[in-house]
């Protein structure tokens, strides 16, 4: 049996406990109690969430109490430092457990304990900049749903913990078990770890109607080559002026932003239609299927075939 210990601290984010349902349904899919789950806290007893819900916990007696430790985040990880005794426990647990997981801002506890030094990690997008600033030895990837670096797993905020838990089930019990759990939980669109935390259009958030109009035009004409000259002409700017204004307002070059829009559109077509990958590539403006595959690996960390296979497995 694989023991999962949830480390809860006062003010923990209650949504993180929803990940326990993933393991509950994994046991049903496996037709045996593969996972056992217990809640822990530094002192034991009742621990209150940010919502006020109280959960009974065991005290932290020894790191070997669990094979996987799920360190649960709080709404504001910067409000107070983690007690040194808790950090000592996390360090010891991290050296002995099979996996140590920072769920949402729980990654800050792992960072304070030194477990993320020299590793790749993610966290809730609202705190990623602060993690990068406070811990320059961590390679923070703030646009990922979850990340795996050896025995250390970290997730983005809120519902991303469910995707991480499904990733653990797939690692332990296989893809069929993970798809079965996703179906039972009505997770009709299971997200891979490499998937962005944001909608590309929302993330760009230009300040002016002019640049917003250029983005709207691009999204509606993705099958075209969409050169800077074409986009600049749409909004009545010179190519040089358009590039400067676009980059200042969105933080991205036009080429980078257009690739993001193409990726988002291609992913949705792959998940929601039965068009061939050649057709998807053509309709979303990639040169060919190979070019789209390279972009998917850069952007999502998985090829288009994996996205389609998973989408069909979950919805089928």
In this model, does residue 196 exceed pLDDT 70? no
pLDDT reported for residue 299: 84
**N-to-C CA span, the chain:** 30
Residue 165 lies in a domain: yes
- Domain with 68 in it: 2-184
Looking at the fold, whether 204 and 267 belong to one and the same domain comes out as yes
In this model, does residue 212 exceed pLDDT 70? yes
Looking at the fold, whether 177 and 268 belong to one and the same domain comes out as no
Residue 192 lies in a domain: no
pLDDT reported for residue 186: 79
Give the CATH number of the domain where residue 38 resides: 3.40.50.880
Higher local confidence (pLDDT), 191 or 250? 250
Looking at the fold, whether 209 and 298 belong to one and the same domain comes out as yes
Residue 90: C-alpha distances to residues 101, 199, 279 (Å):
10, 34, 49
Looking at the fold, whether 168 and 68 belong to one and the same domain comes out as yes
Residue 193 lies in a domain: no
Give the CATH number of the domain where residue 294 resides: 1.10.10.60
Residue 88 lies in a domain: yes
| Last residue of one domain, picked from the residues 149, 184, 219 | 184
Residue 194 lies in a domain: no
Using CA atoms of 194, 195, 198, 201 in order, give the dihedral in degrees to the nearest 10: 120
pLDDT reported for residue 168: 94
Number of domains in the chain: 2
Looking at the fold, whether 29 and 142 belong to one and the same domain comes out as yes
Residue 190 lies in a domain: no
Looking at the fold, whether 255 and 166 belong to one and the same domain comes out as no
| Last residue of one domain, picked from the residues 184, 218, 240 | 184
CB 214 within 8 A of CB 279: no
Residue 231's pLDDT band, with cuts at 50, 70 and 90, is very high
Phi, psi of 146 (to 5 degrees): -155, 160
Looking at the fold, whether 59 and 113 belong to one and the same domain comes out as yes
Q: What percent of the chain has pLDDT over 70?
A: 92
Looking at the fold, whether 68 and 151 belong to one and the same domain comes out as yes
Residue 56 lies in a domain: yes
In this model, does residue 202 exceed pLDDT 70? no
Looking at the fold, whether 232 and 307 belong to one and the same domain comes out as yes
> Which string of b and e fits 196-225 if b means at least 16 CB within 10 Å?
bbbebbebbebeeebbbebbeebbeebeee
pLDDT reported for residue 200: 54
pLDDT digits (tens, 9 = 90+) for 28-37: 999 999 999 9
Segment 168-189 mean pLDDT = 85
Looking at the fold, whether 178 and 207 belong to one and the same domain comes out as no
As a whole number of angstroms, the distance between CA 108 and CA 110 comes to 5
Looking at the fold, whether 115 and 248 belong to one and the same domain comes out as no
pLDDT reported for residue 179: 84
Residue 195 lies in a domain: no
pLDDT reported for residue 63: 63
- pTM of whole model > 0.85? no
As a whole number of angstroms, the distance between CA 43 and CA 5 comes to 15
pLDDT digits (tens, 9 = 90+) for 120-152: 999 998 899 999 999 999 999 877 889 999 999
pLDDT reported for residue 144: 80
Looking at the fold, whether 174 and 204 belong to one and the same domain comes out as no
| Last residue of one domain, picked from the residues 184, 213, 234 | 184
């Amino acid at each position: 049996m694989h023991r999962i210990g949830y480390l809860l601290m006062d003010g923990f984010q209650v949504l993180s406990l929803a990940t326990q349902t993933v393991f509950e349904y994994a046991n049903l899919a496996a037709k045996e109690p593969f996972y056992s789950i217990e809640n822990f806290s530094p002192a034991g007893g009742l621990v209150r969430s940010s919502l006020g819900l109280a959960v009974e916990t065991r005290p932290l007696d020894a790191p070997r109490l669990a094979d996987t430790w799920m360190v649960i985040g709080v709404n504001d990880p910067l409000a107070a430092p983690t007690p040194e005794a808790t950090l000592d426990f996390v360090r010891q647990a991290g050296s002995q457990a099979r996996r140590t997981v920072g769920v949402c801002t729980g990654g800050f506890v792992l960072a304070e304990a030194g477990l993320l030094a020299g590793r790749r990690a993610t966290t809730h997008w609202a705190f990623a900049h602060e993690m990068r600033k406070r811990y320059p030895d961590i390679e923070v990837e703030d646009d990922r749903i979850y990340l795996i670096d050896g025995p250390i797993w970290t997730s983005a905020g809120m519902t991303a913990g469910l995707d991480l838990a499904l990733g653990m089930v797939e690692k332990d019990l296989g893809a069929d078990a993970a798809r079965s759990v996703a179906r039972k939980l009505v997770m009709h669109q299971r997200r891979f770890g490499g998937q962005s935390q944001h909608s590309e259009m929302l993330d760009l958030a230009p300040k002016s109607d002019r640049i917003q109009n250029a983005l709207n035009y691009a999204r509606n004409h993705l099958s075209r080559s969409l050169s800077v000259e074409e986009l600049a002409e749409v909004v009545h700017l010179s190519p040089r002026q358009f590039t400067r204004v676009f980059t200042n307002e969105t933080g991205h070059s036009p080429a980078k932003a257009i690739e993001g829009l193409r990726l988002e559109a291609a992913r949705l077509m792959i998940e929601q239609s039965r068009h061939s990958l050649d057709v998807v590539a053509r309709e979303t403006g990639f040169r060919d299927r190979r070019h789209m595959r390279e972009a998917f690996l850069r952007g999502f960390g998985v090829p288009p075939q994996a996205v389609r296979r998973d989408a069909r497995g979950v919805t089928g």
